[in-house]
Structure 1
Amino acid sequence: MHLHPLGPPPTTRDEAVAQQEKLSALVHATGDGPADLRTVAGIDVAHREGTDDVVAAVVVLDATTLRPVETRTACAPAGHPYEPGLLALRELPAVTAALESVERVPDLILCDGAGVAHPRRFGLACHVGLLTDVPTIGVAKSPPVPFEMPKPARGSWTPQLDGDEVIGRALRTQHGVRPVFVSVGHRIGLDAACEHVLRLARHRLPETTRRADRIARDAALRA
């Protein structure tokens, strides 16, 4: 997959923050996503125990059957020290390497992590969206901000607010199961993002990132 460079990797915290603030202005948080959804990809990462290495997995699924059509993994040293709000920079070297090896460009990408639900509105899903120029959604397992629990029914949701700004939704993907936290990555609106997440969710997590999570963890154990 051809990627669009986002500039040199930042080497300091100030450079990283400045880069996120600059790139966040390039995110398009509107639209319905792909009109013809044939393939959909999931991205997740795992960390090798006892090392500073990150293993990234990209799995591309048939959008109708949800069967895998391509799987790629990559291992790379963490790109940045751990710091809240800069986690994506730790993961990007491995994620970028895995994406570069993907042969079939997906129509939609779901990342395990945040999109605009981020202090500077530029989480991992935004990085991936700009790198690939593919509609991208962030689906996080834990909330970036406090939230009100949605009603138990599948499809129920509550807004995630930072002050008065809506930055995402707590979305119930299965009845009575803890919600996931959906935010826009790039080239899609929040309504459409939640619709896609629901359609892809046979369990709590959408099938894309659920499979990528397992593949990344298994690859980290083997690396």
Structure 2
Amino acid sequence: MISDRPIDLGAVRLVAGVDVSVKNEESQAAIVVVTYPGFLPVETVLARCPTPFPYIPGLLSFREGPVLEEAFDKLKAEPDVFLFDGMGIAHPRRIGIASHMGLWLDRPTIGCGKTLLCGRYGPLPDEKGSAAPLVDKGETIGVALRTRTAKNPMFISPGHLADIPTAAELVLNCSPKYRLPEPIRLAHNAAGQFGQ
């Protein structure tokens, strides 16, 4: 594990959502920094470059990392935590994009996967806030977390400088209305707007 350090949630003031969209072999990264709590946008940065690597599950860092580095270089705000649309340690090699980029940023990062990449989890009630440990090869690597009642869970795992309990708590706190945590939802919308 890259880090097993609790996030001091009482000290979090800015949270960044991170996502990349690919269209016609061009990648656009978006980082949206919002206040926490409140989710008021503070800064949005975009970066675009040719997509350097094919989509291969488990190797997202090679596809999205270069454009994300360009976007991080443009960032003026200093987020306390970064939420990634992708995995942290809930990854076959225990180093998903949130872990990989967290090492580069040296900031707390959390992976928020929409689909299960590895591991298994037990019964999960339908109510928002329900969580079940995500276990792979006898190791707890994250949680399946219901961020919206009766919707598919998100798969939450620490990336860097975070632990499972506070990562899950922060993601749930960042999901007041939608399945996707609000910072990631905003980044997803921004990344998908390629324009001219």
Q: TM-score range by the shorter chain?
A: over 0.9
Q: 1:125 matched to which residue of 2?
A: 98
Residue 134 of structure 1 and its aligned partner are, at CA, apart by 1.1
1:39-96 CA distance string (max 9 Å, x none): 1100011101xx3221110000011220101000111122333323212210011111
Residue 35 of structure 1 and its aligned partner are, at CA, apart by 4.6
CA distance in 1, matches of 2:56, 2:8: 31
CA distance in 2, matches of 1:155, 1:105: 28
Residue 34 of structure 1 and its aligned partner are, at CA, apart by 5.4
Q: Supply the AA of the counterpart residue of 1:119.
A: P
> Could you tell me whether the CA contact under 8 Å between 1:34 and 1:108 is conserved in 2?
no
Q: Is structure 2 residue 145 aligned with structure 1 residue 177? A: no
Q: 2:114 matched to which residue of 1?
A: 141
Question: When the two structures are superposed, what TM-score results if normalisation uses the length of structure 1?
Answer: 0.82
Q: 1:193 matched to which residue of 2?
A: 167
> Could you tell me whether the CA contact under 8 Å between 1:33 and 1:189 is conserved in 2?
no
CA distance in 2, matches of 1:77, 1:149: 42
Q: Supply the AA of the counterpart residue of 1:209.
A: I
Q: 1:71 matched to which residue of 2?
A: 44
Is there any run of 5+ residues in structure 1 with no aligned partner, and where? 1-24
Residue 33 of structure 1 and its aligned partner are, at CA, apart by 4.0
Measured on the aligned residues, the alpha-carbon RMSD in Å equals 1.5
CA distance in 2, matches of 1:85, 1:172: 23
> Could you tell me whether the CA contact under 8 Å between 2:27 and 2:51 is conserved in 1?
yes
Q: Is structure 2 residue 7 aligned with structure 1 residue 32? A: yes
Runs of 4+ in 1 over 4 A off after TM superposition: none
> Could you tell me whether the CA contact under 8 Å between 1:33 and 1:108 is conserved in 2?
no
CA distance in 2, matches of 1:176, 1:34: 27
SS of residue paired to 1:218: coil
1:97-126 CA distance string (max 9 Å, x none): 111100011011100000001111111101
Is there any run of 5+ residues in structure 2 with no aligned partner, and where? none
**Aligned residues between the structures:** 194
Larger Rg: 1
Q: 1:11 matched to which residue of 2?
A: none
Identity %: 39
Please show how residues 32-181 of structure 1 align to structure 2 within 5 Å: 32-33=7-8, 35-48=10-23, 51-145=24-118, 146-181=120-155
Question: When the two structures are superposed, what TM-score results if normalisation uses the length of structure 2?
Answer: 0.93
CA distance in 2, matches of 1:218, 1:172: 28
SS of residue paired to 1:84: coil
